[in-house]
Structure 1
């Protein structure tokens, strides 16, 4: 494994944080490289050492969180839906600024699409339309229905200031998922 210089990691984290903080107060299209460099306290040229442009930076941030969620799914694959959901909701809470910004801004369509695709992929192994309560139903309809439900409840949670603790969110969404898979 290649060891990355701490200064590089620190700079990249500052840039990621800066763009998310800016998106919380400004439309992404209106954010400039200068805005990002000022917020991160780095030279404009430093951004281009790490990213092609602000779109590449945002893509990398989204990719990182989607990959982290995917990894959490694999880690939680042997858990109940409640336990697995708790892992996700804790991650959401720990990364509140990113998720609340990405799910509550005009710039959220791309992230929402990526998030929905991830949820659908992860639940695909749980769907059985050959027997049980979902017998005879379309697998695609079930996956889109529950994927949209999960993404929707996470959006609702952030829009309402995470007023329900992560543990309660995990338990209640886990119960709903257990009833249907």
Structure 2
């Protein structure tokens, strides 16, 4: 049963992402989604409360996958950041439509939370001597660079180049 549930959720998410490439979030209806996925509306509602819950869960899943991808590299900030930027680049075709409209604020909030948790749980710096203001500045800086890279630079800069420069910025904030 669990396997069928995961398969149906994957179908719903893939259909949702396909529709997001065709139209904006506010133009997508549950009816369109279920027709395109060839499932009943009731099946959709067994998995998601509404299209907003689907959007939120999809974004959270991508952020959680990125976290898992980078978790084993907390000891070296440049490498961890490179992995995060690699993940974002590899998944850009799925993430890009989620950044439009309602998805942008959710993505930003989830990413901010993820960055804060990473900073708090990593061994990169002695956080006991880093002020709350500096932690907030580091989080905002990393988030701002990610947003710039995804939305304005359109992935032109390499993940390793961004990570190396960002590492220098982070450590200059700490000092």
The TM-score with structure 2 as length reference comes to 0.79
Equivalent position to 1:91, from 84, 87, 90: 87
Deviation string 1:149-179 (CA, Å, 9 cap, x unpaired) is 1111111111222111223222322333344
Deviation at 1:129, TM superposition (A): 6.0
What is the RMSD of the two structures over their aligned residues, measured on CA atoms?
A: 2.5
Deviation string 1:57-80 (CA, Å, 9 cap, x unpaired) is 2222122123223333432122x1
Is 1:148 the counterpart of 2:140? The answer is yes
Tell me how far apart the structure 2 counterparts of residues 129 and 32 of structure 1 sit (CA, whole Å): 48
Equivalent position to 2:13, from 13, 16, 23: 16
After superposition, the Cα gap between the structure-2 partners of 1:179 and 1:73, relative to the gap in structure 1 and judged at 3 Å, is farther
Equivalent position to 2:167, from 170, 174, 178: 174
SS at structure 2 position matched to 1:161: coil
Q: How does 1:13-92 map to 2 (within 5 A)?
A: 13-78=10-75, 80-92=76-88
Any runs of at least 4 consecutive aligned residues in structure 1 with deviations exceeding 6 A, and if so which?
A: none
> More deviation in 18-27 or 116-125?
18-27
> More deviation in 113-122 or 19-28?
19-28
Tell me how far apart the structure 1 counterparts of residues 137 and 11 of structure 2 sit (CA, whole Å): 37
**Structure 1 runs not aligned, ≥5 long:** none
Instruction: Count residues with an aligned counterpart.
Output: 169
The aligned counterpart of 2:98 is 102
Q: Which has more helix, going by share of residues?
A: 2
**Structure 2 runs not aligned, ≥5 long:** none
The aligned counterpart of 1:120 is 116
The aligned counterpart of 1:161 is 154
Contact 1:16–1:61 (8 Å) recurs in 2: yes
Contact 2:19–2:28 (8 Å) recurs in 1: yes
